[in-house]
Amino acid sequence: MPLLTIKNCLDPVLRKTCLPIENIDGELVTLAENMVETIRAAPGVGLAANQIGLAQRMFVINIGVETDKENLITVVNPEITTMEGNELGEEGCLSIPDVVAEVNRASQIEIKGYDLDGNEVHYEAEGYLARAFQHEMDHLNGILFWDNLAKMKRDILKRKFKKKIKEQDA
């Protein structure tokens, strides 16, 4: 299966509010499979559809996939139904390579959506999985993990990211 190109944060698609998916068809399943391959190869924790250029509401989560393939989660049209507590923790993003920062997130969440068979799914998550869900939900709303940081902190990270991109292009 082909690996997909991951867009970086300079691409305007990362700022799009993604649209609900109306049909869960073969094309979508293939896309999800390619996203899974892409995230495993990266490797990364999560990948939202707009990160590969498609402004639609779907993401894949890949926690502990090195040891257990069952930990791959694909959610179509996800919605967070409950958020509780808060927790500071380190985050990175495949669209902002080599940049990590401490981000405040709800420590416990509930999420609902659909799987690739069109069945309604429901997850209760805490800690790192809750963080991953919130990070990917943000992507679907055009938000990047550094948006909530203080401007000064964000500017430092942006400079780091731009330097990294320059090195990659060189």
* Residue 26 CB, nearest approach to Zn ion (Å): 27
> Which of residues 6 and 116 has its CB atom nearest to Zn ion in the complex?
6
* Active-site residue, selected from the candidate residues 37, 84, 136, 167: 136
Q: How far apart are the first and last CA of the chain?
A: 29
Distance CA 92, CA 90 (A): 7
* Residue 59 CB, nearest approach to Zn ion (Å): 9
Query: In this chain, which residue has its C-beta nearest to Zn ion?
Result: 93
Confirm whether 91 is a catalytic residue.
no
The two three-digit tokens of residue 46, written as one number:
């999560």
> Which of residues 52 and 93 has its CB atom nearest to Zn ion in the complex?
93
Which residues 6+ apart lie within 8 Å of 106 measured at CB?
A: 83, 84, 85, 86, 87, 130, 134
* Residue 94 CB, nearest approach to Zn ion (Å): 6
* Residue 46 CB, nearest approach to Zn ion (Å): 6
Which residues 6+ apart lie within 8 Å of 67 measured at CB?
A: none
> Which of residues 24 and 65 has its CB atom nearest to Zn ion in the complex?
65
> Which of residues 24 and 139 has its CB atom nearest to Zn ion in the complex?
139
CB 79 within 8 A of CB 113: yes
Please give the residue ranges that form the binding site for Zn ion (CB under 5 A): 93
The sign of the torsion formed by the CA atoms of 125, 130, 134, 135 equals negative
Active-site positions read 136
